[in-house]
A and B are shown apart, each in its own frame.
Chain A
Amino acid sequence: MIRTRRGPVAALVALTVVLAACGTAGEVEEPDAEPDTDATSDEPTEEVDEEAEAEPAALSGEITFTTLQLSPDFDAYIEGVIASFESEHPEATIDWVDVPFEGAQERLLADASAGTLADVINLNPDLSFPLAVEGQFVDLDEAGAEVRGDYVEGAWDSFRYPGIDGAFGYPWYLSTEVTMYNAALLEEAGLDPDDAPETFEALFETARTVAENTDARGMHPALENRFVIDLVKLGVEITNDDATEATFNTPEAVELVEELRSLYEDGAISPDSVTEGHRQEIEAYQAGNIALFPTGPNFLNIIEENAPDIAADTRVAPQITGPAGVTGMSVMGLLVPESTDNPDLAHAFAQYMTNGENQLAFAEQVLIFPSIVDALEDPMFTDPDEGDADFAEAISVAAEQLPDAANLRPVVVDEEVNNAIISNVQSAILGDLTAEEALDAATAEVDDILQRRAS
């Protein structure tokens, strides 16, 4: 899901080799010093620690570890971490398998129904949801109690699911949306390029002004990615607490749909964009067809590679927030399924892969952010001075908003629920339904899906 920053890769290969050589050095606490994570929960933590230090080589056996679309870009990094883990635990073997993002869900479900899930699985909250609600993952509130405090709280909580107790993923790398904008287009439209929109009202107004005064459109709605998240930012609850009923049909939602409809009528969003996703949004921004582009900072790499001219005009502002005042982030995690036959090794490895040191090394390669609180305070994020200003700006803007960010997309909003919502919203924006009709229809569809799942 992420692209590499091409430049420093070579340097990083060297870095990972160094890391592999002196594995345990560094200030960040080594989670693998506590391999006995599956110990019964009522055991005091200190005792676990002592036990662990007494026999650190207890880990043995072979486990499988799957990642989501990290090969071949990060082969050297992942293999380096695995090698250093294996050198600390000579009896342990980690088999790494990378899964392309496309079709990941299908493959995961096929593995689950065949009983062949890996022992450590890289997933995001919504991909893991269908399996998690079936109780297929180990609760880390218990199994990972000793390390829980190290992680960003909002990231840890991303892997909680309605109707079941527990958190089910070790947060791995994070990303958080910032607002990229084409300063040249803003200037051309007579706007102050230093005054980027930070609220929804400002965003929509800027989009209109750009569309009126330039050949470009203001923005791309990317409904598939953003509509539900924007509702949450506006304070709308998508479902009730136990996810049995849709609750998003509120005046705020009607207002958002009507606003999108009027942006469409004003030409601030293009007709095609209503049915398009994030991929076409990037294309549109790179072609200079839209001025505003809320997205993860890692897309700066891609823009710089594909459209250097646009990259030169690009500036970065904090994420658009609504009255609810919450900031969103996307979270990747490592999950351990109940089916693993080597839970000790699986937990130890998942904690090792996600520890501060290893995540910082990962962040050196690509614009992602570690899910470890201490690691986020690294000068790399707080004081990013090297290289070009856009990157530095994007990094510090993102790192600043992360500690308080949360995963705003409710896990229950998987592909099916999301489609049910946005397909009706599309009709409303295109004028085939009114906003009320669309949200009524979407509510009925989502209710139907939720009831079927509950039964």
Chain B
Amino acid sequence: MIGRRWYTPWLFLAPSLVLLTVFMWWPVVNTAALSFTDTHTLRGGGFTGLDNFRRIAGDDFFWNALGNTALFTVIVTPALVVLPLLIAILVSAKLKGMTFFRVVFFSPVVASMVVAALIWGWMLRSDGLVNFVLDRLGVINEPLRWLSDPALVMISVSIVTIWKGLGYYMVIYIAGLQNIPQDLYEAAALDGAGPIRRLWSITLPLMRPTMVLVGTLVTLNAVKVFTEAFVLTGGGPNRASETLVLYIYQRGFSGLELGYSSAMSLVLFVVVLGLTLLSQIVTRRRANP
């Protein structure tokens, strides 16, 4: 018989603890420490106190990147809270062939983001599919510069994220929808409530916790957006689609300013932490009205 020893649970935890420490906690601590230095990738560096943070305050490119990231978050979050819910409701209908549509909507999730961004890059070209369709529909007179017009480029990046995220959040919503007791709908139907009324008075109120969860996940991911912008536009034209993580990456890897980019990462960390706390507060309030 195997005895109960104090270290048995630790043995089970050890693999993930080791991985988390090596690839997560140690880098986090290291990044925090580097933020107070002027470390250069090759030259090393020394302690500089709050210099990096003062520099961030006066760095126009940082504020530009933060602004782009905020814009992206504001576009993507409502879209990815509402659209997947609508799709989830549609594909939950008890009709033939719905599994097919679930698979179709979910498939972009499986694709690599790089591939998705490349394909959208082709479709969004001025002579690409999107402009062709819009032109045929008579919506536009001349091709839109999706990838080179500073006013449009963040929208293009958002489109890729939304398209790719739909399926993932749809699955979360489908799970939430299955938790709604069917007798509520039956009772409402007996009382003469139509489909819209049932959606508004039963589905939406009961889905609210799921929507808050999805909203939180979307926001946190949106703040960290990188791949879409990197592949689709490289941050251009002239930094119009440069997101915070992209800017941190460029300062760190082509500018070799490890200390400064660590400081910006720390700021990003604080932003993410703040948003997480905020969502916790919101969730708690919803849960205990």
Contact = CB atoms under 8 A, between A and B. Distances in A.
Partners in one complex: yes
Interface of A: 105-106, 109, 112-113, 130-131, 134, 136, 270-272, 274-275, 414-416, 419, 423-424, 426-427, 430, 432-433, 449, 452
6 contacts: A105-B253, A109-B42, A274-B237, A416-B254, A426-B148, A430-B148
Contact of B256 (A109, A272, A274, A275): A109
A271 B238 contact: no
Given A106-B253, A130-B256, A430-B148, A270 B127 contact: yes
Contact of B254 (A113, A415, A427, A432): A415
Contacts of A106: 253
Contacts of B254: 105, 414-416, 419
B148 A275 contact: yes
Given A109-B42, A271-B148, A452 B238 contact: no
A1 to B, nearest CB: 19
B148 A109 contact: no
B42 A134 contact: yes
B237 A131 contact: no
Given A415-B254, A416-B254, 12 more contacts: A112-B41, A271-B143, A271-B145, A272-B127, A274-B237, A275-B147, A275-B148, A275-B237, A426-B237, A432-B237, A449-B255, A452-B257
B254 to A, nearest CB: 4
Contacts of A419: 250, 254
Given A105-B253, A272-B148, A423 B237 contact: yes
B198 interface: no
B236 A275 contact: yes
Nearest to A270: B126
A452 B61 CA distance: 15
A69 B118 CA distance: 22
Contacts of A416: 250, 254-255
A112 B143 CA distance: 47
A423 B239 contact: yes
A433 B150 CA distance: 12
B285 interface: no
A273 to B, nearest CB: 9
Interface residues of B, number: 25
Contact of B125 (A112, A272, A426): A272
Contacts of A130: 41-42, 256
A419 B126 CA distance: 23
10 nearest interchain CB pairs? A427-B238, A416-B254, A415-B254, A423-B238, A426-B237, A271-B126, A275-B236, A275-B148, A134-B42, A272-B125
Nearest to A417: B254
A415 B148 CA distance: 20
Interface string B138-170: 000001010111100000000000000000000
Interface of A is mostly: helix
B68 interface: no
A147 B11 CA distance: 61
B265 interface: no
Contacts of A414: 254
Nearest to B250: A416
Nearest to A423: B238
B233 interface: yes
Given A130-B42, A275-B147, A426 B253 contact: no
A135 B150 CA distance: 41
A419 B43 CA distance: 23
Contacts of A271: 126, 143, 145, 148
Given A109-B256, A112-B42, A416-B255, A274 B148 contact: yes
B126 A272 contact: yes
A380 to B, nearest CB: 38
Nearest to B143: A271
A423 B241 CA distance: 11
A139 B41 CA distance: 22
A104 to B, nearest CB: 12
A176 to B, nearest CB: 26
Contacts of B255: 416, 449, 452
A350 B147 CA distance: 44
Among the interface residues B236, B238, B253, B257, which one has the most CB atoms of the partner chain A within 10 A? B238
A309 B41 CA distance: 48
A125 B44 CA distance: 23
Contacts of B126: 270-272
A109 B41 contact: yes
Interface in B250-287: 250, 253-257
A400 to B, nearest CB: 36
A113 B250 contact: no
A271 B127 CA distance: 9
Contacts of A109: 41-42, 253, 256
Contacts of B41: 109, 112-113, 130
Interface string B109-149: 00000000000000001110000000000000001010111
Contacts of A433: 238
A162 B235 CA distance: 29
A424 B125 contact: no
Contacts of A426: 148, 236-238
Contacts of A134: 42-43
A284 to B, nearest CB: 10
A275 B233 contact: yes
Contacts of B253: 105-106, 109
Contacts of B237: 274-275, 423, 426-427, 430, 432
Nearest to A424: B238
Contact of B42 (A131, A270, A275): A131
A384 to B, nearest CB: 37
A270 B145 CA distance: 10
A437 B255 CA distance: 24
A112 B258 CA distance: 14
A432 B250 CA distance: 24
A43 B155 CA distance: 66
